[in-house]
Structure 1
Amino acid sequence: MIPLRALMFPIQYQEVGEAFMRAKGLSSPTAAEWLATLGIDPARGSDAPDVPPGFVHGEHFAALLRILSQHCSDDRAHSEQILECFPVSAHGPLGLLAIVATNMRECIDYAIQFGPLVMPAFGLRMEIIDHQVHLIFERRTDFGAFNKLITEITLGCYGQFKNYADTPRPDGDYYFRHQPDGVPMYIPGTPPRCIHYGCREDKLVFPEEFLDRPLIMTSRGSRNALESVLKEQVAVLAPQQPFTHKVRQLIQRDVHAGLPSELASVAQRLELSSRTLSRRLQEEHNTFAQLNAQIRIEHAKAQLLHTNKPVSQIAQEAGFNEVGSFSRAFKRVYDKTPSEMRVPSGFVSGQA
Structure 2
Amino acid sequence: MRSLGTASVAALRQYVRAAESAGVDITRLFDKASLNPAILDTDDGRIDGEQLQHFIHLLVEQTRNPVLGLETGDFVQPGTYSVLGYITMSCATLGEAVARIAPFEKLVGDMGTTRLAVNGDEITLAWNCNYDDPMVQPHLVDNVFSSWVNYARWLSGNDTASPSLVRLKRQSPGEKLERAYQSRWHCPVQFGADENSITLKKELLDTRLRQPDPLLRKTLEAHALTQLASLDTDSDLTSKVKYSIQQQLVHGITRQDMVADDLGMTSRTLQRKLSQEGVSYQKLLDEVRLKMAEDYLLNSELPIPEIALRLGYIETTSFHRKFKAVKGKTPGEFRASRGQA
Shorter-chain TM band? 0.5 to 0.7
Q: 1:43 to 1:156 in 2, by over 3 A?
A: closer
Structure 1 residue 153: Cα displacement: 1.2
Deviation string 1:275-299 (CA, Å, 9 cap, x unpaired) is xxxxxxxxxxxxxxxxxxxxxxxxx
Which residue is 1:184 aligned to? 178
Kindly tell me: are residues 188 and 219 of structure 1, through their superposed partners in 2, closer, same or farther at Cα, counting changes over 3 Å? Answer: farther
| Secondary structure of the corresponding residue to residue 60 of structure 1 | helix
Aligned mates of 1:8, 1:148 — CA distance in 2: 19
Aligned residue for 1:97?
Answer: 87
1:54 and 2:45 correspond:
yes
The percentage of aligned residue pairs carrying the same residue is 13
Q: Which residue of 2 aligns with 1:223?
A: 217
- Report the CA distance between 1:84 and its aligned residue: 2.5
Deviation at 1:6, TM superposition (A): 3.9
| Aligned residue-pair number | 227
Structure 1 residues 14 and 126 mapped into 2: Cα distance closer, same or farther (>3 Å)? Answer: closer
Residue 94 of structure 1 deviates from its aligned partner by 1.1
- In the alignment, is residue 22 of structure 1 matched against residue 39 of structure 2? no
Given that 1:171 and 1:190 are in contact with CA atoms closer than 8 Å, whether structure 2 keeps it comes out as: no
Aligned partner (choices 149, 156, 173) of residue 146 of structure 2: 156
Number of the residue aligned with 1:342: none
The amino acid across from 2:216 in the alignment is S
**Pair 1:39 & 2:19 matched:** no
CA spacing shift, 1:146–1:208, aligned 2, 3 Å: same
The letter of the residue matching 1:109 is A
- 1:89-115 deviation per Cα after TM superposition (whole angstroms, max 9, x unaligned): 322211222222111221012111101
Distance 2:227 2:194 in 1: 33
The 1:55/1:34 distance shift into structure 2, 3 A limit, reads farther
State whether structure 2 residue 57 is matched by structure 1 residue 63: no
Normalised to the residue count of structure 1, the TM-score between the two structures is 0.56
* TM-score, structure 2 as length reference: 0.58
1:167 deviation in Å? 4.8
Q: Structure 2 CA distance, aligned partners of 1:143 and 1:38?
A: 15
Against the structure 1 CA distance between its residues 103 and 154, is the aligned structure 2 distance closer, same or farther, given a 3 Å change threshold?
same
Q: Secondary structure at the match of 1:214?
A: coil
Alignment pair present for 1:115 and 2:105: yes
CA deviation after TM superposition for structure 1 residue 43, in Å: 7.6
Partners in 2 of 1:145 and 1:18 — Cα distance?
A: 18
Q: Is 1:86 aligned to residue 69 of structure 2?
A: no
SS at match of 2:75: coil
Partners of 2:160 and 2:30 in 1: how far apart? Answer: 39
> If each structure's helix is expressed as a fraction of its own residues, which one has the higher value?
2
> Unaligned stretches of 5+ in structure 1?
46-52, 241-352
CA distance in 2, matches of 1:112, 1:126: 8
Paired position in structure 2 for 1:293: none
